[in-house]
């Protein structure tokens, strides 16, 4: 399978040679899919990859007896019963969270590209962010006018916005 960069160059070359006559439906998605990566040290890059690999293997911790009672919510609660099979770590009863399932301390709070997510309420708060390390997340309470100002200022400064 071709990598993202080769796909993008292939599509761009095809558009230039054939013009904009006909585009394949997936081309717009592929051209938009190119994401920025944070500028990380090599050690942190390998730790971030390890975090992603580990996240795939981590089980979804389910509450004890969740399947039996419809009123229970799917939120983790530690089993505390005297005869609880889950608490006793019986096979097939579900996993309990342990420190071993955690991610490396240096990658905590980072997204998949290695940016630390910072919530932004107004355009002035973008001044505190560094383009190589931080990614802005516009707060849900921000209105349309201020959201557009934030997006414009972020584009000028070269800051990535996750919920643009």
Residue 154, judged by CB atoms within 10 A of its CB (0-12, 13-18, 19+), counts as buried
Q: Output the pLDDT for position 135.
A: 92
Please give the residue that has the higher pLDDT: either 81 or 31: 81
Residue 64, judged by CB atoms within 10 A of its CB (0-12, 13-18, 19+), counts as buried
Q: Output the pLDDT for position 29.
A: 45
pLDDT of 71 above 80: yes
Q: What pLDDT digit, counting tens, does each position of 110-140 carry?
A: 888 888 899 999 999 999 999 888 999 999 9
- Structural domain boundaries in the chain: 1-34, 115-164
Give the number of C-alpha atoms closer than 13 A to the C-alpha of residue 131, restricted to the C-beta side: 8
Please give the model's pTM, rounded to 2 decimal places: 0.58
Residues 6+ apart with CB under 8 A from 75: 63
Q: Output the pLDDT for position 8.
A: 64
């Amino acid at each position: 399978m071709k990598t993202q960069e080769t796909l993008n160059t292939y599509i761009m070359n095809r558009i230039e040679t054939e013009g904009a006559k006909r585009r394949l439906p997936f081309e717009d998605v592929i051209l938009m899919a190119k994401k920025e990566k944070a500028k990380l040290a090599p050690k942190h890059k390998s730790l971030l990859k390890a975090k992603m690999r580990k996240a795939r293997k981590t089980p979804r911790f389910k509450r004890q007896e969740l399947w039996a009672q419809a009123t229970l919510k799917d939120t983790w609660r530690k089993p505390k019963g005297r005869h609880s099979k889950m608490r006793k770590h019986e096979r097939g009863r579900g996993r309990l969270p342990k420190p071993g399932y955690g991610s490396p301390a240096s990658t905590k709070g980072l997204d998949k590209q290695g940016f630390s997510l910072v919530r932004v309420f107004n355009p002035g708060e973008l001044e505190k962010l560094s383009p190589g390390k931080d990614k802005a997340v516009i707060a849900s309470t921000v209105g349309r006018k201020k959201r557009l100002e934030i997006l414009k200022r972020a584009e000028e400064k070269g800051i990535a916005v996750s919920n643009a």
